[in-house]
Chains A and B, each alone.
Chain A
Amino acid sequence: MEQSELIDAGGVAPQITKQPEQLNLLSQGAEGRLFLGDIFGQVCVIKERFQKNYRVPQLDAKLAQQRINQECKNMARIRKFGVPTPALYLIDEVGRKIYMEYLGKHAYTVKEFLYQLKSFDHPILDQMVDKIGTNLAILHTNDQIHGDLTTSNMMIKPKVPLGLQLSTREEDKRITASEIAESGTLGDVYLIDFGLSFVSGKIEDKAVDIYVLKRAFISTHPGSEDLFDRILDKYREKAGAQGLKIIAKYKDVEKRGRKRECFG
């Protein structure tokens, strides 16, 4: 049989999506390039962990593999506990890609939302504090460490008016942060980006998770100390007996950070 006579037998894998250059780039994160694509005719987010040429191939392959596995496993695991995360559609280990639910064009990262809102004490933030604090408590109660908690890795999926929701027209504008705030309903707060996540029951790991968030919060949103403290209060309230231990340890970790010898 000649080579040219061969035709594709119709497996789905080669056809599920377009090539990256045909896709819309959503964001270029630290490790992932995120595209808006489609899978079986359904819109989705494709997160590709492209090769990092700065590190030795052996290390690169190990990290990419490890993080794709962690991300998929834990994203699904967390969903079970009732914390909103995008649904996982497909894993393409060879192509280093995962396909997941798109949260829609109205979704905001918490970072973007706070930047637009330009306030740390708007009443709508009560709902945000509540949801973030509760999400984190659920995570830790189930020994789930996120590993990269920042305001870029939390997304608000707002409730939008039906007209705006149904519209598929590109030019229809995206809901603004102040419109969300004025509506009085925040919507769901999703956790995303589980590449550095892992399962651990250690108090220290949970405390560092909180510490990482605190640092990201304060440096990204100068002046948001009170807002962060409110999240921590909610966390304490929801995390039960272990919550107190975690917070005590977190204060320790923070003190270590401040005390760290620091000479040039």
Chain B
Amino acid sequence: MEVDKSRKIISLGIEGSANKIGVGIVDQDGTIYSNPRTTFITPPGTGFMPKETAEHHRAKVLTIIKQALEEAKMTLDDITVISYTKGPGMAGPLSVGAIVARTLSQLYNKPIVGVNHCIGHIEMGRVVTKSENPTILYVSGGNTQVIAYSQNRYRIFGETLDIAVGNCLDRFARIINLSNDPSPGHNIEQMAKLGSRYIELPYIVKGMDMSFSGMLTHIEELVTGKKTSQTKKQQQEQSGKMQIEETYSKEDLCYSLQETIFAMLVETTERAMAHCNSREVLLVGGVGCNVRLQQMMGIMAGERGGSVCAMDDRYCIDNGAMIAYAGLLEYKFKGQTGMRLEECTFTQRFRTDEVDVIWRND
């Protein structure tokens, strides 16, 4: 379908699948006119729950839409298509975006497109970095996937066999009681910089798949084990037997956890690259913001004669613009039509490889 070049397609995208609510406005070249968002932050030792997160999004969404339009110096009349995250994600938070998008679509008579969240990260990443056909490592709170494109699908070559990397990091942060502000991952990263002693942790890779839950159990045992061993130490001192107990500093734990988990991610990504004869890597998802992970990935890709696409907030962290852009592609290549209203639902489970990638023909 050829697009009328004289008129720009402008897409407004609403993202609210997890703890961030964001609205972005983009055009078909990937130019971002505005992209505000806010994050629902919970106290240390707690995670974000669906109900409270949805309440947060509901309270903020309209203000953020207004802000996005103001920053872009646009009104809803300038918008060609409305995009929203259809899934995957938590039902409550997802429903906020879907309902607001449907209402706007009806009120202003605009076409509407529901977007796969993961595809949003990937397509925004491709347009921002101008990377044609990278191997993608998608690492976030709910996802750990090694993805490569072939025949109109983003195919999953490797993934976690149990919990997601981000989830593992978040739960680890709770075990050692780190703050959730701005994010557990960020705080682990900062603390890891102060660590120096590498503590051996379970390293579980099965081909291009990996497992993280054993790691958490192991660390939990180390941490709680330390507590009991301190009492044991007292007992030993009382009984006159002196024994030096191993202690693990938070810094060393953060350092060792990162080094181990990221090595697993880099290894499986490299295996997929070798398997697919690919040289470029695109890191997407919140965990992709981690500088150490980027650095490790860079070394690996460099040694293969390839490179990692420069990391960028526009596609790494959840935001409205990436949803707007992926929605725009779908709209443009479907002959400039949106979805039927009854298709505009939301769904907690929506796999990356379910989406028919009509906008690529390589």
Contact = CB atoms under 8 A, between A and B. Distances in A.
Interface of A: 27-31, 52-56, 58-59, 62-63, 111, 147-150, 152, 196, 208-209, 211-212, 215-216, 218-220, 222, 253, 256-264
B180 interface: no
Interface in B109-166: 117-118, 121, 140-143, 148, 150-151, 153, 155-161
A220 B304 CA distance: 21
B142 A54 contact: no
Given A31-B267, A261-B142, A215 B209 contact: yes
A264 B349 contact: no
Contacts of A29: 271, 274
The 8 closest A-B pairs by CB, nearest first: A263-B142, A30-B271, A263-B89, A262-B88, A219-B155, A54-B299, A54-B296, A148-B207
14 contacts: A28-B304, A30-B275, A52-B303, A54-B303, A56-B259, A63-B203, A150-B207, A208-B161, A220-B157, A222-B151, A258-B351, A262-B350, A263-B90, A264-B318
A54 B295 CA distance: 8
Contacts of B285: 264
A54 to B, nearest CB: 4
A263 B17 contact: yes
B203 A222 contact: no
B263 interface: yes
A222 B155 contact: yes
Contacts of B351: 258, 262
A143 B156 CA distance: 28
A204 to B, nearest CB: 10
Contacts of A263: 17-18, 87-90, 117, 140-143, 348
B259 A149 contact: no
B155 A54 contact: no
Nearest to B260: A59
A219 B266 CA distance: 19
B153 A222 contact: yes
A54 B266 contact: yes
Nearest to A63: B203
A62 B203 CA distance: 11
A8 B140 CA distance: 56
B300 interface: yes
Given A150-B275, A263-B141, A264-B121, A53 B299 contact: yes
B206 A264 contact: no
Given A62-B200, A222-B151, A262-B349, A212 B209 contact: yes
Interface of B: 17-18, 87-90, 117-118, 121, 140-143, 148, 150-151, 153, 155-161, 198, 200, 203, 205-209, 259-260, 263, 266-267, 270-271, 273-276, 285-286, 295-297, 299-300, 303-304, 318, 348-351, 353
A125 to B, nearest CB: 20
A264 B18 contact: yes
B140 A59 contact: no
Contacts of A218: 155
A59 B255 CA distance: 13
B288 to A, nearest CB: 11
A85 B254 CA distance: 41
A256 B213 CA distance: 14
A215 B161 CA distance: 12
B94 to A, nearest CB: 8
A208 B148 CA distance: 21
Contacts of B275: 30, 111, 150, 152, 216, 220
Nearest to B20: A264
A264 B89 CA distance: 6
Contacts of A212: 206-209
Contacts of A59: 198, 200, 203, 259-260, 263
Contacts of A62: 200
A178 to B, nearest CB: 21
Given A30-B270, A147-B207, A222-B151, A55 B142 contact: no
Given A55-B259, A262-B142, 19 more contacts: A29-B271, A54-B263, A54-B297, A54-B299, A54-B303, A59-B198, A59-B200, A59-B259, A147-B207, A150-B207, A211-B209, A212-B208, A215-B208, A216-B157, A220-B275, A257-B161, A258-B349, A261-B348, A264-B318
